[in-house]
Amino acid sequence: MDVVHSALHAGHDGGVELHRGQLVPCYECPARVDFIEQALRAAGRHTWLPPRDFPLERLLDIHDADFIEFLRTAYPRWRAEGRDGSMLPSGFPARGLRRDRVPSGIHGAMGYYAFDAGTPIVPGTWEAALASAHCAMTAAALVTEGARAAYALCRPPGHHAARGTYGGYCFLNNAALAAQGLRDAGKARVALLDVDYHHGNGTQEIFWERDDVLFISIHGTPDTEYPYFLGYADERGAGRGEGYTLNLPLQRGTDWARYSAALATAREAIQAFGADALVVSLGVDTYQGDPISAFKLSKEHFPLLGGQLAGLGLPKVLVQEGGYAVEDIGHNVAAVLGAFDSAVLR
């Protein structure tokens, strides 16, 4: 399988985040990619490719122009005020506050575009996020050019980023950009399956009113799990997109038996949709050792996950999302891709 990867990811090293009320070192760190790369190179089955360049305008198919401009200029504006270190917001336009005005100052603008205080911006964030998006878009291009599957080793991840907001460690929605790339290349119906522990709220918002992209997410229930305010089963899309969003929330402590049942439901929906291609938001934070998640999948379940995904028989783009048990992330990703490679070769 082709693996698309950029060393620019390392420029985004956030430092600290606010996690469940405590200021802690960022769980989303450069070492995540290092361990994945080591495991995949040790497997020896993959072709490594750099991302291609794409016009900035391609991002506007998915994201608002003012949001892109904010991300592109945020850290220089922060430095212009004589500040350094990590940018974290200190106020948000919650209920009862105005949401129709973007403050001209960097602090208010940061709170306007962010939805949490766990996603720091540092000097290399924009370059890393853009390279990550290009990795996903390149993987999609490879599939449209004939590859049966391609893997984008994206960092930072993307599925929490919406049209005009960032959070959950995500700035640009890599999986949505990949899906749009497949659509632009002539794939009439694209399924996007998110298997990260956390709901892909940004992806859901982006495709909420579209019927050409089926969005399915298997995740921890928002009753107790981040991002809390989206991901319930009654969210089904709107307008032309009504019925093209499928949320499968699961309780803390979910094991493989319950998870695989939800996965079977997702597979049935993808087949009924008649998808021409599949994008997978591949989070491996469903692992029982993950420090910020609460499912109970173990190492032997990730080859099973890969086999189930590969068995759908569609051209596929796999886009890396979460996974924060850093020393085990490489093994778990390699297990998914290894099963994929075996199935594709059969």
Domain ranges for the chain, please list them. Answer: 2-15+29-50+128-344
3-state secondary structure of 102: coil
Cα separations in angstroms, 287 against 80, 155, 201, 302, 326: 42, 19, 20, 9, 11
| pLDDT recorded at residue 343 | 66
Return mean pLDDT, the chain.
96
**How far out from the chain centre does Cα 109 lie?**
23
Residues 6+ apart with CB under 8 A from 222: 199, 228, 229, 230, 231, 232, 249
DSSP state of 207: T
The number of CA neighbours under 13 Å toward the Cβ of 65 is 1
Per-residue pLDDT, averaged over 35-61, amounts to: 96
Catalytic-role residue among 9, 160, 219, 331: 160
pTM above 0.95, yes or no: yes
What element of type H or E holds 342?
helix 326-345
| pLDDT recorded at residue 346 | 45
| Annotation marks residue 160 as catalytic | yes
Per-residue pLDDT, averaged over 60-89, amounts to: 96
pLDDT higher than threshold 90 for residue 224: yes
pLDDT higher than threshold 80 for residue 342: no
Considering the segment(s) 2-15+29-50+128-344 as one domain, its CATH architecture is 3-Layer(aba) Sandwich (3.40)
Q: What is the DSSP string of 65-77?
A: HHHHHHHHHHHHH
Q: Tell me: the pLDDT tens digits for 75-113?
A: 999 999 999 989 999 899 999 999 999 999 999 999 999
3-state secondary structure of 194: strand
